[in-house]
Structure 1
Amino acid sequence: METSASNLIRVIPDFPKPGIIFKDITPLLANADAFRNVCDQIAEYANEVEYIAGVEARGFIFAAAIAAISNKGLIPIRKSGKLPGKTYSNSYELEYGKATLELHADLIPAGGRVLLVDDVLATGGTAVAALDLIKMAGLSPITIAFLLEIPALGGRSRIAKSHPGLKIQTVLAE
């Protein structure tokens, strides 16, 4: 009997801080059929791009699989201080603090079209910061895809306001 991917996401209250509701995707990742199914669904959005970008850390998991499935290049968007050489850098606010993302500068030819992938769309802060980095690198974000979305936190509208015209896709509804 096949298990629904949405049933494989655990809800962990008060992690990593009180008041935060964490969506644990580990059970979904451990289920080969469910993991492949959601990656295949996101890979459908890769037809019009040359690159798949993933945001550290859980976005890497999906982005790498989707890049392999769709035969596209992979662009890692990392936390501050993790990439050698020249980088673009962008700081942003999280639900529970502040963070900085970085992307290699001058290693990926400008003009390429990108599908950005991350695990959860919450407030949209991480997504907007990653999209800004992609643009700083001279690339064109075409679509952003998430495993799941928490609509009450307003991330979709935040992304749409800062990056109008971008396609926003979610595989699982909350």
Structure 2
Amino acid sequence: MPRATDDFRDRIRTVPDWPQAGIQFRDITPLLQDADTFQRLIDCFVQRYLAQHIDLVAGIDARGFILGAALAYALRRGFVPIRKKGKLPFQTIAEDYALEYGAATIELHIDAVAPGQRVLLVDDLVATGGTLLAAARLIRRLGGEVVEAAAIVDLPELGGSAAVAGEGITLFTLCQFDGH
């Protein structure tokens, strides 16, 4: 019988040359389309975090919203969206970061995290680690503590998991892929 993480990995679709040539995009939507698979996916994260003291789950725009909101609901914790620049309606703080294929800015409402709150940071995938690290800096600037970062996929050859660990943040992922 295959492990759950093997089943998740087998269901992730690779889209070559998207959003640009040379990128092998790891598409998690097949995991989300099947209700049983999606539930098992969230349950894997719930099992890891149920006994930990977490105040908030922060999800990164956009697929981190899907995982983060479902996980926050299952853990009975609040959810905080970390959005692309210009998408949040209230006062924000911003952080620039480098992507595998460009640069971007993310924002967080200034009242999203209270000093001392323990935050679980969630995204779908870790490539270069730039998005996770920028999100962690936002949380820390508001006085929050990043308990851990979690994602479905790690692309270790792109150096993101090492960069996240280098900032003192534990990273939990369910599967990894070699290459870009």
What is the TM-score of this pair, normalised by structure 2?
0.90
Structure 1 residue 107: deviation in Å? 4.2
Which of 2, 6, 17 is the aligned partner of 2:9? 6
Contact 1:128 1:159 in 2 (8 A): yes
> 2:33 aligns to what?
30
Listed one character per residue, the Cα deviations across residues 24-73 of structure 1 (whole Å, up to 9, x for unaligned) are: 11111001111111111112225221100000000000000000000010
Structure 1 residue 110: deviation in Å? 1.8
Q: What is the rounded CA distance, in whole Å, between the counterparts of 1:99 and 1:59 in structure 2?
A: 16
Which of 127, 135, 150 is the aligned partner of 1:122? 127
Contact 1:59 1:118 in 2 (8 A): yes
SS in 2 for 1:64: helix
Gaps of 5+ in 2: none
Letter in 1 for 2:90: G
> 1:61 aligns to what?
66
What is the TM-score of this pair, normalised by structure 1?
0.93
Gaps of 5+ in 1: none
> 1:51 aligns to what?
56
The alignment covers a number of residue pairs equal to 172
> 1:80 aligns to what?
85
Contact 2:164 2:170 in 1 (8 A): no
Structure 1 residue 150: deviation in Å? 0.8
Contact 1:45 1:143 in 2 (8 A): no
